[in-house]
């Protein structure tokens, strides 16, 4: 089975964004803290590690698209790469770049420029609501991808039962995030107990994760904090690549067995 690079990048993007959405919402305020049981420290480190992978996948997809255009394989379509070649693809490309830009501002300027942080936080959070709403519409458009096939088709990964479970899991995570937003805003405002739990989680995150630079020790730079995240991000990326490599070997072996028959 031959997997196209844009197919792999598309689903890597979907997985990483679902993790970013849920972990990011858990840090957005006391109203959402219940999503991860007010464990802000875990949400913070998961969000940062996944964000690095998110940037890598985005850069890889842009690079893949540039090579496609240079090889004259674009066929005069819009160069949105894994984002799709349509108006929604352009929307996804712009919002992805905005997420990365505001995320960098939040990470780098948390201590030095509070005005920039406030603006970036506003864009980052509200953009999440908009993108999640658009994803529901996107999944409705692609609902055929959720249908369970009567039988698996050779060389078609989307008809394999195990991959269908992966698609359903990713889709469910997006619906969970949207449902969490609706429940949090429709319900009563957070009470004193929820606010205390959220603040306790924030304090724990300041001590046990890389959240903020307000408690930064003398001599510890932003580069030092980034250095702490990169090994974990690299480890997760290596695991994903190993799984993809093993999957490719399995498909090649399966195809060879069928050819010998």
The per-residue pLDDT for range 203-254, each reduced to its tens digit, is 887 776 666 543 444 444 444 544 555 565 566 566 666 665 565 565 556 5
pLDDT per residue over 17-55, tens digit each? Answer: 999 999 999 998 888 989 998 998 889 889 988 998 898
Count how many domains the chain has: 1
What tokens does 111 get?
């201590």
Q: What is the CA radius of gyration of the chain?
A: 20
CATH number, residue 149: 1.20.950
| Helix 192-208 and helix 40-70, axial crossing angle in degrees, nearest 10 | 70
Q: Say how many CA atoms lie within 13 Å of 137 toward its Cβ.
A: 9
Whole-model pTM: value is 0.75
Q: Range of 213's domain?
A: 5-260
Indicate the pLDDT class of residue 178, thresholds 50, 70 and 90.
very high
d(CA 204, CA 198): 10
What's the confidence (pLDDT) of residue 80? 46
């Amino acid at each position: 089975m031959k997997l196209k690079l844009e197919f792999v990048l598309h689903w890597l993007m979907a997985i990483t964004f679902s993790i970013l959405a849920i972990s990011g919402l858990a840090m957005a305020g006391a109203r959402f803290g219940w999503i991860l049981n007010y464990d802000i420290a875990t949400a913070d480190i998961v969000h940062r590690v996944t964000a690095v992978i998110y940037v890598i996948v985005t850069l890889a997809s842009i690079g893949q698209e540039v090579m496609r255009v240079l090889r004259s394989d674009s066929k005069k379509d819009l160069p949105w790469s894994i984002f799709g070649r349509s108006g929604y693809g352009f929307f996804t490309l712009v919002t992805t770049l905005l997420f990365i830009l505001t995320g960098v501002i939040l990470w780098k300027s948390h201590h030095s420029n509070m005005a920039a942080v406030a603006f970036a936080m506003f864009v980052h959070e509200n953009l999440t609501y908009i993108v999640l709403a658009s994803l529901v519409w996107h999944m409705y458009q692609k609902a055929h991808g959720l249908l369970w096939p009567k039988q698996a088709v050779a060389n078609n990964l989307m008809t394999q039962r195990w991959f269908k479970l992966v698609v359903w899991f990713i889709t469910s995570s997006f619906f969970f995030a949207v449902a969490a937003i609706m429940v949090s805003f429709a319900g009563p405002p957070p009470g004193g107990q929820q606010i205390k739990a959220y603040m306790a989680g924030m304090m724990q995150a300041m001590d046990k994760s890389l959240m903020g630079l307000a408690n930064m020790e003398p001599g510890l730079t932003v580069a030092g904090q980034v250095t702490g995240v990169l090994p974990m991000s690299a480890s997760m990326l290596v695991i994903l690549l190993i799984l993809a490599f093993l999957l490719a070997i399995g498909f090649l072996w399966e195809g060879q067995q069928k050819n010998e028959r």
